[in-house]
Structure 1
Amino acid sequence: MMDTRKTVLFHCQHSMGMGHLVRSLTLAKTLAKRFRVVLLNGGELPEGMTFPSELDVIHLPPIGQLIDHSLYSIDTEITLEQAQEIRLHQIMKIFNEIHPDVLFIELFPFGRKKFVNELLPLLEAANALGKNAPITACSLRDILVGNRKDQEQHENRAALLANRYFDAVLSHADPDFAQLEETFQPQIPLKTPVFYTGFVLPKQEIQPVDFSEIKISKTLVVSAGGGRFGYDIFRNAATIAPALGEHFGLKVKIITGPFLPDDEFVALKKQSAEIANLEVIKFVPNLHKELCAARASISQCGYNTTMDLLQSKVPSLVIPFSEGEEDEQLIRAQRLAKLGQLQYLIPQNLTPESLFDAVKNLLNFRPDSTPLNLNGAEKTGEILAQLIGERDAKQTRAAAKKQTYSEWLKPVLDAMNRAPLPVKFFFRDDDAGWRTDRLQALLKLFDRYHLPIDLAVIPTALDASTINFLKAAKATAPQRIGLHQHGYLHQNYQSEGRNCEFGSDRSLDAQFEDISRGKALLEDIFGRNALDAIFTPPWNRCKSDTAKVLQLLNFEALSRDETAEPLHQPGLIELPIRIDWLRKRKGVALTREEFGEYLAAGIRKGKMLGLMFHHAEMDDANLQELDELLHLLAAHSYAKFYPMRELVQIKFEKLHVQNNFAL
């Protein structure tokens, strides 16, 4: 089957360690839930590491970087220059073949300047596509190196490149912990939008350390990321292992990482053969699991190691890597120590004696529970989807300006053009659960114009295929597609008068039972967080008892027709529908010309316009007419569109302000 998802081309270059690769893989794996992800891996492949099967991985000829920042070809069969030439050819070939929707580049232009020979041609090729260019975004860690000899020149160059080539910078940090401008201060203003995603770390099923049982564990885990520059830590930890065993009963487990030089690994293994409580291994598939089972941890303070420490909540001593111009890890360590998350030892002060004293103090330390946003991978996907949608909508609106509209839309266009203020719209479609084929067709229209729509879902009408469709639609466009409850059975209980599921013929208890059952059913299917606290009664009718039930069940909003008498239930917002796409007059559907006048009259009233659809009753001709309307509205600069949950939030905030002033 052809993959119809949007495509992300992700360039990752790890040079001295493996942290950038680990973070990029976490991001790529999460992005693959929404997009086709093609990952360009430019660094050495760590021993024992596997790549997720859901990714398309292109391994470029690997290039490494020494402590003096000089590059070298890891494949000794080819020179650095040959590796660079092959890489450039491969990168440009894959770019031209896949036509990505997103070009996602790790660290550049804030780092990786030695890879400019392949990245600038790639960026130029993307830029040359004009209106068909991909969204170009930078994947950036929380803290940047700020101690370069040419720091000012470096930062100004980075700002220029970002402003010229990039649509967005995604900083994988909690802004309450670190903001880009704290370690990036160019004289040239950065104009590219910066989005904070939260910290990026893999979803783990291992439970964090339980401090009530922490004394059961006797293992001190010692690690240093990929291990290339961790020998001083390992050597000192091995030296004090006998004393740690004697005084505290600790077993020292050194995980060197795959990049520790072989001679250093051999020396440590030889030492471990002579010390009963010392174990030395090269690699573990899940460091987080090791940390959750540990009494304490010693490590460097790279981004990924730090994420494992924060998530596992193990008492941690970090010895930040700070060779040459590197100050990123020291800054991170100092900030986390200030928050009570860990303790740190400056590497220049590292001796067996200082390390022993630090471990002694560490055994009495418990990390604080300062909350940090650790949902960066999911948020990255949301941001990229939003950027793609905004680009597509802009292109659609540009094309729509050339559109010649049907006669029935001319009153609508005239009313929009004469509107003194922006015209605000929301869209609600009822009866999700019936005729899913027609719902799919309706959602395609809203996706085409990148417009929000809220689906009123009948809890008892959902079969497996509809559930899967709604879950996929929500995951693909979580900000644009809303799901909320639409009655329970969608069944009429009125013995006389108009159809109503929650009318005068039903007791408050009966209404409570049905609505609560429906709510529980939808939450079980979709999860509470996927549902909005909004209720739409079938046939847009209910009584005052229904509002009381909704408040008891923590609903925040009720949506009915504007002709319904307001219920004035405290704490319950009302979002009335003012335009019915299938409106009838004396039982006869309006002609399109009559509907155009009806909608134009609604626009002229200057109120929020809620448009209601019933997809199950909409045939292809009807959808074609709706396509024309959405075309007009999406292209019009006076039109503003809202998901219903956003309107609920706005109304609650206004009530809060009014109540505060009343006090």
Structure 2
Amino acid sequence: MRILVAVTHLLGAGHLTRAAALARAFAAAGHETVLVSGGMPSPLVRPGGARLVQLPPVRSAGFDFGRLVGKDGNPADTALLAARQSALLDALERARPDVVVSELFPFGRRILADEFMALVTAARARPESPLILASVRDILVPPDRPAKVADAHARIAALYDAVLVHGDPAFMPLGASWPVDAALAPALRYTGYVDEGDPVRPARHREGILVAAGSSSAGLGLFRAAIGAARRRPDLGWRLLVGHGVPEAELADLSKGLAPGTVMRARPDYRALMAQSAVSVSQCGYNTAVDLLATGTPAVLVPFEAGRETEQRLRAEGLAALGLARILGEAELSPEALIAAVHDAARPPGGGAAQRTIALDGSARTVDIVEEMVASRRPRPRPDPVAGLRDALDRAAARGRRMPVWWRDDDAVAATPALDRLLALAKGAPLLIAAITGRTESSLRERLTDAPGVSLAVHGLAHANHAPPGDKAAEFGPHRPLAAQRDDAARALALARERLALPGLLPVFVPPWNRVSDDLARALPGLGYRGLSAAGGPAIDGLVRADAPWDVIDWRGTRSLRDPGALLATAIAHAEGESAVPLGLLTHHLAHDEAVWDFLERLIPLLAAHPAVRFHDPRDLFGGTVDVRARQPISPLHERPRAV
């Protein structure tokens, strides 16, 4: 097989360490493996037989995981993020993988969602769609908002084949930290813990205290307390391993006044040192916990808890409950408290039997699981990408709520197979088709004659961009004289009467690219228009507004389906709210690829049939149609303009 594993660690190197262990296991089993790393390079991480691709690196700004910085410490700008995404997609193209693994995403790394989604959607769109898997540790950060859960679950349902959980459910099921519902549970594949270290034999005689706190500066508080303890009780034999993320000057400062060899850089033989130590003092990251399970070393655990982190505390409590460790909270940390905890931990632990039953064969088992999935792969059952919205609508129906929606499709010019597919999908559901009247062919009118549920709007004159270089595209933006805009808008409506003389023609202006200058918008009623659908703007007397912001296409990125999690989150919020403003769905039938069509083929039937949805007819929204025999619309309008 060809395997691609994508990982970005933002603080410590634990995520990269685990991903590298998996990559080595795949490579050792004879599979061509690429490990794509987007975090800072780590000197202790070994790719083994896997090929390492390093993206332009980023890290978190301290404990603020909502801000990224580059290797120079400056904020990660759009150019850096674009370069990362380009390199990631290039790695995908070169690898041509049978399996793509995204580490932590979509359950985490939301700040890098654009690049992970670009990878996954590009992989799914390949002619031979690879197996797509998420890889997560035993414990996840509990979400602070239900929308985050909905996003992750929607992405798994729409794009992923399974979730590799690198833990043992008998010790720590994923549901202990993350809401595992009936839809997610069947996708979970527990692998056991990924044991990154080499086998070691515990020493017959253990001595000394080994202190370590990962590869970043997050453990400096623990190190300072340990230094104070070493000065008070040097007879206990302290060894402090400081991560490579701690600057050299700070390392020298930590070493002052201590015996040579007390403070040193983190070493690749950490597990062997742990196996020889009387007590291990550390935080409780994933890899450290595995080292403790493998060596059986008595431990004092000081779980990292800054920035809403609960993962290490939960894991430490699980180990303590088995009698494998003692917990010292960060808030209680001091040299005296640490010395007392070390004495307490040195007593014989009581969890040896439980320790031996926890599965530590996660690397080999991961390879087995993936090999089995690829070997037995059949056409993948089509997931339900709108399951979360269906559930929200069911809840809305139960409380008597009806979610208002309407649908607009842009850029029609002629009868095409894509238009046929659009109309077949609509099946008579109310649909406003915005036609580029200056380019309209007679076949469009012929195809839409007697098409049920279809209304027509004026989509500008020629869909021509008149904006200067560097500005956002616009045909009717503020860059042109108002007189020229008025002339084109009037000409567009006249051509609509001439070329699209159908009962469903509405005096509604839909500017290309959804952009229109305020001056032209105010002039539209005088030109015969009675409706406007764009990207927001002021209320205007004599003009009914109904915009369509729910665009399914990712125009600024893949130009394929927008992130389905974000799309569904918008609709779910609308379903669960109380707004009477219809949510405007926007499609572009000529630009749809299979990913977009597939999503719409699930979404439209749900919206059209669900009792909690009120599917608005554009004729009702905008108040009347055009009399193609006259210069002005004659159908009655509301006396007072309204915004929709």
Q: What TM-score results when the alignment is normalised by the length of structure 2?
A: 0.56
| 1:299 counterpart (282, 293, 311) | 282
- Give the Cα separation in 2 of the matches to 1:209 and 1:160: 49
Residues 105-124 of structure 1: matches in 2 within 5 Å?
Answer: 105-124=102-121
Q: Match for 2:328: what amino acid?
A: L
Residues 360-375 of structure 1: matches in 2 within 5 Å?
Answer: 360-366=343-349, 368-369=351-352, 370=354, 371-375=357-361
| 1:386 counterpart (358, 372, 375) | 372
Alignment partner of 1:178: what SS? coil
Alignment partner of 1:208: what SS? coil
| 2:362 counterpart (376, 395, 399) | 376
Alignment partner of 1:334: what SS? helix
- Give the Cα separation in 1 of the matches to 2:307 and 2:184: 27
Q: Deviations over 1:274-320 (max 9, x none)?
A: 23387111220121011011121100000001111111111110100
- Give the Cα separation in 2 of the matches to 1:20 and 1:256: 18
Alignment partner of 2:28: what SS? coil
Q: Match for 1:220: what amino acid?
A: I
**Structure 1 residue 162: Cα displacement:** 1.0
- Give the Cα separation in 2 of the matches to 1:355 and 1:38: 42
Alignment partner of 2:351: what SS? coil
The residue aligned with 2:49 is 54
The residue aligned with 2:172 is 178
* Unaligned runs of at least 5 residues, structure 1: 1-5, 396-663
- Give the Cα separation in 1 of the matches to 2:350 and 2:232: 25
Q: Match for 2:252: what amino acid?
A: V
Residues 416-435 of structure 1: matches in 2 within 5 Å?
Answer: none
The residue aligned with 1:224 is 213
The residue aligned with 1:634 is none
- Give the Cα separation in 2 of the matches to 1:143 and 1:29: 23
| 1:43 counterpart (39, 44, 67) | 39
Q: Deviations over 1:444-491 (max 9, x none)?
A: xxxxxxxxxxxxxxxxxxxxxxxxxxxxxxxxxxxxxxxxxxxxxxxx
Give yes or no for the alignment of 1:239 onto 2:228.
yes
- Give the Cα separation in 2 of the matches to 1:367 and 1:112: 37
Q: Match for 1:30: what amino acid?
A: A
Say if 1:288 and 1:312, in contact at 8 Å, map to a contact too: yes
Say if 1:173 and 1:376, in contact at 8 Å, map to a contact too: yes
The residue aligned with 1:159 is 153
Give yes or no for the alignment of 1:266 onto 2:245.
no
Say if 1:138 and 1:170, in contact at 8 Å, map to a contact too: yes
The residue aligned with 1:320 is 303
| 1:129 counterpart (121, 126, 137) | 126
Say if 1:156 and 1:187, in contact at 8 Å, map to a contact too: no
Q: Deviations over 1:360-390 (max 9, x none)?
A: 2122243521121000000000011011112
**Structure 1 residue 86: Cα displacement:** 1.1
Alignment partner of 1:32: what SS? helix
- Give the Cα separation in 2 of the matches to 1:327 and 1:316: 19
- Give the Cα separation in 2 of the matches to 1:134 and 1:9: 10
The residue aligned with 1:250 is 236
**Structure 1 residue 189: Cα displacement:** 3.6
The residue aligned with 2:424 is none
- Give the Cα separation in 2 of the matches to 1:45 and 1:195: 29
Q: Match for 1:71: what amino acid?
A: L
Residues 393-472 of structure 1: matches in 2 within 5 Å?
Answer: none
The residue aligned with 2:407 is none
Q: Deviations over 1:596-642 (max 9, x none)?
A: xxxxxxxxxxxxxxxxxxxxxxxxxxxxxxxxxxxxxxxxxxxxxxx
**Structure 1 residue 52: Cα displacement:** 3.4
Q: Match for 1:33: what amino acid?
A: A
Q: Match for 1:233: what amino acid?
A: L
Q: What TM-score results when the alignment is normalised by the length of structure 1?
A: 0.54
- Structure 1 pair 335–178 and aligned structure 2 pair: CA distance change class (3 A): same
- Structure 1 pair 240–156 and aligned structure 2 pair: CA distance change class (3 A): same
Q: Deviations over 1:382-413 (max 9, x none)?
A: 0110111122x559xxxxxxxxxxxxxxxxxx
The residue aligned with 2:273 is 290
Say if 1:143 and 1:328, in contact at 8 Å, map to a contact too: yes
The residue aligned with 1:90 is 87
| 2:136 counterpart (137, 140, 144) | 140
**Structure 1 residue 76: Cα displacement:** 5.5
Q: Match for 1:118: what amino acid?
A: E
Alignment partner of 2:214: what SS? coil
Give yes or no for the alignment of 1:358 onto 2:354.
no
Say if 1:163 and 1:191, in contact at 8 Å, map to a contact too: no
In terms of fraction of residues, the more helix-rich structure is: 1
| 1:337 counterpart (312, 316, 320) | 320
| Aligned residue pairs, count | 374
Residues 641-656 of structure 1: matches in 2 within 5 Å?
Answer: none
The residue aligned with 1:654 is none
The residue aligned with 1:13 is 8
* Unaligned runs of at least 5 residues, structure 2: 381-644
The residue aligned with 2:386 is none
Q: Match for 2:184: what amino acid?
A: L
Say if 2:68 and 2:76, in contact at 8 Å, map to a contact too: no
- Give the Cα separation in 1 of the matches to 2:242 and 2:149: 34
The residue aligned with 1:99 is 96
Say if 1:314 and 1:367, in contact at 8 Å, map to a contact too: no
- Structure 1 pair 77–346 and aligned structure 2 pair: CA distance change class (3 A): closer
- Give the Cα separation in 1 of the matches to 2:95 and 2:260: 53
- Give the Cα separation in 2 of the matches to 1:304 and 1:83: 30
Say if 1:169 and 1:194, in contact at 8 Å, map to a contact too: yes
| 2:20 counterpart (25, 40, 59) | 25
Say if 2:24 and 2:47, in contact at 8 Å, map to a contact too: yes
Q: Match for 1:62: what amino acid?
A: P
- Give the Cα separation in 2 of the matches to 1:106 and 1:367: 34
**Structure 1 residue 61: Cα displacement:** 0.6
- Give the Cα separation in 2 of the matches to 1:205 and 1:177: 22
- Give the Cα separation in 1 of the matches to 2:213 and 2:74: 29
- Give the Cα separation in 2 of the matches to 1:290 and 1:80: 42
**Structure 1 residue 82: Cα displacement:** 2.3
Q: Match for 2:5: what amino acid?
A: F
Say if 2:35 and 2:47, in contact at 8 Å, map to a contact too: no
- Structure 1 pair 363–7 and aligned structure 2 pair: CA distance change class (3 A): same
- Give the Cα separation in 2 of the matches to 1:125 and 1:137: 14
**Structure 1 residue 237: Cα displacement:** 0.6
Q: Deviations over 1:561-596 (max 9, x none)?
A: xxxxxxxxxxxxxxxxxxxxxxxxxxxxxxxxxxxx
- Give the Cα separation in 2 of the matches to 1:149 and 1:16: 20
Q: Match for 1:115: what amino acid?
A: L
Q: Match for 1:180: what amino acid?
A: L
- Give the Cα separation in 2 of the matches to 1:78 and 1:298: 34
